[in-house]
Amino acid sequence: MIDWPGLTLDENAEVFYYFSMNTDELRSKYIEFFISKAHAQIQGKSLLPDNDPTVLFTTAGMHPLVPYLLGEEHPAGKRLVDYQKCIRTGDIDSVGDASHLTFFEMLGNWSLGDYFKEGAIEMSFEFLTSPQWLGIPLEKLGITVFEGDQTVPRDEESAVVWRRLGIPADRISYRPRSDNWWGPAGTTGPCGPDSEMFIDMGKEPCGPDCAPGCSCGKWLEIWNDVFMQYNKTAEGVYEPLARICVDTGMGIERTVTILNNKKSVYDTEIFTPIIGAVEKAAAYTYGVDPEKDRSVRIISDHVRAATFVLGDPKAVSPSNVGAGYVLRRLIRRAVRHGRKLGIAGLVLSPLARVIIDQLKGPYPELVENQGYIIAELDKEEGKFLETLQKGEHEFEKLLPSLLKDPRKTMSGRLAFKLYDTYGFPLELTQELAAEQGFTINRAEFDEAFKKHQELSRSGGEQIFKGGLGDQGEMAVKYHTATHLLHKALRMVLGDHVAQKGSNITAERMRFDFSHSAPLGADELERVQAIVNEQIRRDLPVTMAMMSLDDAKASGAIALFGEKYEFQVKVYTIGDFSKEVCGGPHVEHTGAMGAFKIQKEQSSSAGVRRIRAVLE
């Protein structure tokens, strides 16, 4: 038996070939294989999705294909293959660890009403194990299939095919919906049970229950075959798809890391040129200091993602909303970590050039948009550096009086002022203070921050007025209803809808939101039905504390300016809504009663007002 993955070139040069596969080879082999199986290669699509208000970025290879999975004819036929650029911002907080990425490429093949479980699994098996393709030894493969629940039966069909192909029964693991169900890219869309393929990394099992799908590190997933059978509607109902389809997805970066037996994606040829450039700029050697390594990884990942967002045919520029906000956050976080590494001058655009050069083959748009990418990176970085300089300057002005303090503590209120007035991040004030041998009174900072937050909530923005003042039972119910209504409006009218204010009494709620035209009767009806469906589903309402940046990255709707960076409450209502808010809320939506819209009217220019009751 081949001792893989501990294999080296000297021990077995022949097999090594398959396991030193780089991204270009993997991409071409995959496409070539599926073309040989009568698939048509289609172009990957924009990173900024068309007509999907539920997500900011294309999150998976199947995402642009949703209309076809839902029944539309695809001009290229029933069997398709492609590679697709993707961004998942849900993972942004984990970036910096050794495995998470913001930007990644996904390979995928699709059957639109053509082959189903058997065909998909046979092809997956052949591509993975045949020496002509990946040549992964059979004994290194593990499989998971859906174990079934009240709504969908156990996926014995897939298990049978895997066993017939030679996977031993003890390496086929039945897993619950939380593992083996592919949900829609947004909140609605095609979905179904899936069968996932894993590589055994050769580690000892973590216990008697350790099987494919176990997260201990023994089994790493490389591919996912999804058997699309349902469409999840806005009302949360699973309706059968007009025609059953297959959606498969293989993450390129992940697979290359595993096939090359690297500890981390950052040790592969995908990242070594970028990291090399960071090392040079920072005069630092990656691998020496864990804290610095984390910064190197954050910069490398974020610049890669920013380069692709800016290089997209539908590029946005850094801003304070939507995809532009994520882009701004990626850039600023990278700049901050560049400074941490002591890089002087522009950090990002030289790295973008490395990335463009690396990926211009599969993504020629990067070359076409190179001028724009570089200019926007330089501009945003410049702007942020100015903010930082202003903050530093203000800090220096404070220094003489600070130095007189025998306790060596800087007041939290002063730190808050730097943050509030100049947008100077607390962690940088902390850094400057540390250089002078000071600490910052964090409790005081948090208090000033909280006070300010409350003031801005009950004051200028008029948000949650009533909700905060009146915490009677009905007001609390109406408060939860504003979140449901907010999300429902965004689903029906689009992502431009933002809450402009609300007013709650024990008898009714009023909700103001940005939208330029009166709502039609059908739109109002749909909004009302969506809210009532969530009440009927009796969704749990949960709260978590996090920074506003993290809240936004997790997809929460936030109403405040980006400078309120520290601990906010995020209320999550089942799988339906996530919003930054002070609370309070009901614990379960089922307790709210029936939601009824009484009136819709103009409130001011570009702002509509809905009056509604809970009966």
Q: Which residues here bind ligand SER, judged by CB under 6 A?
A: 60-62, 108, 182, 224, 226, 247-249
CA-based nearest residue to 370, from 389, 387, 357: 357
Distance CA 148, CA 167 (A): 20
Question: Smallest gap, in angstroms, from Cβ of residue 237 to ligand SER?
Answer: 21
Question: Smallest gap, in angstroms, from Cβ of residue 472 to ligand SER?
Answer: 45
Question: Smallest gap, in angstroms, from Cβ of residue 224 to ligand SER?
Answer: 4
* Number of Cβ within a 10 Å radius of residue 193: 27
Nearest to ligand SER of 249, 466 (CB atom):
249
Nearest to ligand SER of 23, 370 (CB atom):
23
Distance CA 96, CA 553 (A): 15
In contact, 446 and 410? CB cutoff 8 Å: no
Question: Smallest gap, in angstroms, from Cβ of residue 108 to ligand SER?
Answer: 5
Nearest to ligand SER of 179, 447 (CB atom):
179
Nearest to ligand SER of 62, 484 (CB atom):
62
Question: Smallest gap, in angstroms, from Cβ of residue 549 to ligand SER?
Answer: 25
What tokens appear for 50 in the block? 């068309």
CA 553 to chain CA centroid, nearest Å? 7
* Beta strands at 181-182 and 189-200: parallel, antiparallel or unpaired: antiparallel
Nearest to ligand SER of 191, 581 (CB atom):
191
For the chain, report the end-to-end CA distance as a whole number of angstroms. 69
Nearest to ligand SER of 82, 512 (CB atom):
82
Question: Smallest gap, in angstroms, from Cβ of residue 44 to ligand SER?
Answer: 13
Question: Smallest gap, in angstroms, from Cβ of residue 110 to ligand SER?
Answer: 9
Nearest to ligand SER of 248, 370 (CB atom):
248
CA-based nearest residue to 391, from 442, 441, 350, 427: 427
Question: Smallest gap, in angstroms, from Cβ of residue 426 to ligand SER?
Answer: 37
- Which residue number places its CB atom closest to ligand SER? 249
**Exposure of 279 in the CB half-sphere (CA atoms within 13 A):** 12
- Burial label for 162, CB within 10 Å (0-12, 13-18, 19+), is buried
Nearest to ligand SER of 61, 425 (CB atom):
61
Distance CA 463, CA 511 (A): 10
Nearest to ligand SER of 16, 181 (CB atom):
181
Nearest to ligand SER of 74, 383 (CB atom):
74
Nearest to ligand SER of 61, 582 (CB atom):
61
| Cα torsion 327, 331, 332, 337: sign | positive
Question: Smallest gap, in angstroms, from Cβ of residue 90 to ligand SER?
Answer: 13
Label each residue of 465-509 as H, E or C.
ECCCCCCCHHHHHHHHHHHHHHHHHHHHHCCCCCEEEEEECCCCE
Nearest to ligand SER of 180, 429 (CB atom):
180
Question: Smallest gap, in angstroms, from Cβ of residue 223 to ligand SER?
Answer: 8
Question: Smallest gap, in angstroms, from Cβ of residue 142 to ligand SER?
Answer: 17
131 prior amide bond cis, ω within 30: no
Question: Smallest gap, in angstroms, from Cβ of residue 63 to ligand SER?
Answer: 8
Nearest to ligand SER of 69, 497 (CB atom):
69
DSSP class of 95 = B
Using CA atoms, how far residue 166 sits from 169, 282, 557, in Å, is 9, 51, 48
H-type alpha helices, 311-411: 322-340, 348-359, 365-368, 370-403
Distance CA 205, CA 216 (A): 8
447 φ/ψ angles, rounded to the nearest 5 degrees: -65, -45
Nearest to ligand SER of 59, 528 (CB atom):
59
CA 213 to chain CA centroid, nearest Å? 21
Q: Which amino acid is at 439?
A: T
Question: Smallest gap, in angstroms, from Cβ of residue 330 to ligand SER?
Answer: 21
* Beta strands at 79-87 and 40-41: parallel, antiparallel or unpaired: parallel
What per-residue string of b and e applies to 233-252 under the rule 16 or more CB within 10 Å gives b? Answer: ebebeeeebebbbbbbbbbb
Distance CA 376, CA 367 (A): 15
Question: Smallest gap, in angstroms, from Cβ of residue 107 to ligand SER?
Answer: 9
